[in-house]
């Protein structure tokens, strides 16, 4: 019995081992099948992704080509004489309307002038940045005049209770910004968008601060601009000059770090234009001639660090001199302040008249002469062609008469 039972047990053990190995083999096959399916799925996903990526790249390429064509067509249309004339007419109309309505708003509804200034500043300065960016002139946007406009907007809408910021905005607006119209010979040329924008940047901040100081009712000042009430009828000269120098120094330090030092390679190569390179390279200008007299000029005419630092020193002296009358007279006396602003605006109008009479009129006369010459040449060509055709026709008639005879 024991001998019979032992083979039986061995057979059962073999069946058990066989079933166990079959199970392991089945599991292995299942795992291999699943792995194969996963790999196939990965391969299909990879192929689909590559195919989708290729289609997306092709669509991007086609879209880029279409966009470049549209930009090219738009740029060509922008250069057409009809578009340029229409653009200049619109700019002229808007410029004249703005010049007429701004004093009206300041006198009749002075509380609305900061809103008008803000809307125009956001639109004009933003548009100028993109235009200058295209011309590689956008480093001009980091100049002091734009910094003063930014401070004015911050005072109006964010910190109207700050006496320090109000004093700084008033001095910078009536000092460096307004006087720059005279020194930079800004001209009120209504059909030129660039010149109108320059006048706005230098003229509208002092007009806005003048309106807030003198024309806005006291009740509105107390509610919306309490810093004006807290400062009182006079600016503390020493403290105001100190705060103005502090804010000016912040701008000058940032300008030196990010433009003079940070972008020195682009500026020195000439691929970017800045205000200081513009003035230092203008050999007929006051700044360049003064630099030459001091002895910073070099034979290779390069702009070195000594020229730049001397220019910054001149600019600081100009800022300091221009803010003194603001603290002493403009803020204290309404009519002196008004006479100053009217005088600055009159200078811009005179510069604009000089441009129209001396520059624009010559260009206009030249264009008329060219047009007249073209028309005369067209008449001469038409008359000569008519005379030639009449001679040809008479010759044909004579030939026919000879044949008939």
* CA separation for the pair 174, 322 (Å, rounded): 8
- Domain identity same for 65 and 126: no
Higher-scoring residue by pLDDT: 34, 134: 134
- Judge whether 308 lies within some domain: no
- Domain identity same for 127 and 64: no
- Domain identity same for 200 and 66: no
Looking at residue 339, its pLDDT comes to 97
> What's the domain count of the chain?
2
- Domain identity same for 209 and 346: yes
Are 211 and 110 within 8 A, CB to CB? yes
- Judge whether 254 lies within some domain: yes
Q: How far apart are the first and last CA of the chain?
A: 154
- Domain identity same for 72 and 98: no
Higher-scoring residue by pLDDT: 263, 303: 263
- Judge whether 33 lies within some domain: no
- Domain identity same for 62 and 144: no
- Judge whether 388 lies within some domain: no
- Domain identity same for 56 and 130: no
Looking at residue 211, its pLDDT comes to 97
The residue out of 79, 106, 141 marking a domain boundary is 79
* CA separation for the pair 227, 230 (Å, rounded): 5
Maximum distance among all Cα pairs of the chain, rounded to whole angstroms: 154
- Domain identity same for 126 and 180: yes
- Judge whether 20 lies within some domain: no
**What's the domain range around 61?**
40-79
- Judge whether 296 lies within some domain: no
Q: Which pair of structure tokens corresponds to residue 141? A: 């946007």
pTM over 0.95: no
- Domain identity same for 59 and 155: no
- Domain identity same for 48 and 130: no
Most confident of 271-280, 317-326, 353-362: 317-326
CA distances from 105 to 95, 97, 99, 123, 347 (A): 15, 12, 11, 19, 22
Q: Mean per-residue pLDDT for 1-20?
A: 52
- Judge whether 399 lies within some domain: no
Looking at residue 351, its pLDDT comes to 95
- Domain identity same for 60 and 138: no
> What confidence tier does 360 reach under pLDDT thresholds 50, 70, 90?
confident
Higher-scoring residue by pLDDT: 50, 3: 50
> What confidence tier does 24 reach under pLDDT thresholds 50, 70, 90?
low
- Judge whether 359 lies within some domain: yes
Higher-scoring residue by pLDDT: 282, 340: 340
Looking at residue 404, its pLDDT comes to 41
- Domain identity same for 62 and 211: no
* CA separation for the pair 199, 190 (Å, rounded): 10
Looking at residue 25, its pLDDT comes to 65
Q: Which of 169-178, 180-189, 392-401 is predicted with the least confidence, judged by mean pLDDT?
A: 392-401
Mean of pLDDT over the chain: 82
């Amino acid at each position: 019995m024991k001998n019979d039972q032992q083979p039986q047990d061995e057979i059962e053990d073999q069946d058990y081992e066989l079933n166990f190995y079959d199970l392991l083999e089945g599991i292995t096959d299942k795992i291999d099948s699943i792995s194969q399916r996963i790999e196939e799925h990965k391969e299909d996903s990879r192929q689909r992704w590559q195919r989708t990526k290729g289609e997306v790249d092709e669509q991007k390429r086609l879209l880029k080509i279409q966009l470049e064509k549209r930009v090219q067509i738009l740029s060509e249309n922008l250069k057409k004489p009809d578009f340029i004339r229409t653009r200049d007419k619109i700019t002229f109309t808007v410029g004249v309307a703005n010049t007429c309505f701004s004093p009206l708003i300041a006198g009749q509804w002075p509380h609305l002038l900061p809103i008008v200034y803000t809307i125009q500043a956001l639109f004009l300065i933003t548009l100028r940045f993109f235009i200058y960016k295209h011309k590689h002139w956008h480093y001009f946007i980091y100049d002091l005049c734009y910094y003063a406009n930014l401070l004015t907007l911050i005072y109006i809408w964010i910190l109207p209770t700050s006496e320090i910021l109000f004093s700084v905005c008033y001095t910078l607006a009536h000092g460096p910004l307004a006087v720059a119209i005279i020194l930079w010979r800004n001209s009120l040329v209504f059909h030129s968008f660039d010149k109108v924008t320059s006048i706005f940047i230098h003229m509208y901040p002092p007009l806005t601060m003048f309106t807030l100081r003198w024309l806005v009712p006291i009740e509105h000042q107390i509610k919306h601009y309490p810093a004006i009430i807290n400062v009182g009828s006079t600016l503390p000269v020493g403290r105001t000059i100190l705060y103005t120098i502090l804010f000016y120094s912040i701008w000058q330090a940032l300008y030196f770090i990010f433009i003079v030092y940070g972008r020195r390679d682009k500026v020195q190569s000439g691929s970017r234009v800045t205000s200081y390179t513009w003035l230092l390279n203008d050999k007929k200008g006051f700044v360049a001639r003064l630099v030459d007299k001091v002895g910073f000029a070099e034979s290779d005419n390069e702009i070195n660090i000594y020229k730049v630092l001397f220019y910054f020193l001149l600019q600081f002296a100009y800022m300091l001199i221009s803010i003194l009358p603001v603290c002493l007279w403009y803020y204290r006396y309404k009519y002196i302040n008004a006479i100053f602003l009217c005088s600055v605006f009159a200078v811009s109008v005179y510069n604009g008249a000089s441009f129209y009479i001396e520059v624009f009129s010559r260009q206009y006369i030249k264009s008329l002469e060219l047009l007249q010459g073209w028309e005369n040449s067209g008449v001469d060509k038409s008359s000569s062609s008519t005379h030639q055709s009449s001679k040809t026709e008479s010759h044909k008639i004579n030939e026919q008469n000879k044949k008939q005879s």
